[in-house]
Amino acid sequence: MNSAALNQESNRVLNHAVLGADSSMNEVEIFLDGKPLKAREGEPVMAALVAAGVKVFRHTAKGSPRRMFCGIGRCTDCVMKVDGVPGVRTCVTRVHAGMRVERQDGIGSWKAEGADER
């Protein structure tokens, strides 16, 4: 790939050899583990995270890190908690403004952060 095609501020490809120039989408803010990230509305969550330099999406029940693998929704390596819902495949889920994404351990949990145990 031509080095000029890669945005040096992120891992985002701006001029793809097959898909052409990056179409302009509205830039929005999403949150990964409570920290703000820039993303493009409508792009896959996984694409936004990779562009921001995120390498680990989740950990298995045994603690092994998982990252992008298939990118088409067939595996579970990119599953994360999205807007409070665990097990969401981020490669086929589109970004929306204010989205809250959290890394997931094992199968995830519906329990909200800081919620009281009952």
Using H for helix, E for strand and C for coil, what is the string for 34-54?
Answer: CEEEEEECCCEHHHHHHHCCC
Local structure of 4: helix, strand or coil: helix
21 contacts: CB under 8 Å, gap ≥ 6: 14, 15
Residue-wise pLDDT tens digits, 24-54? 678 999 999 999 999 998 889 998 999 999 9
3-105 has which CATH code?
Answer: 3.10.20.440
Q: Has residue 93 got a pLDDT over 90?
A: yes
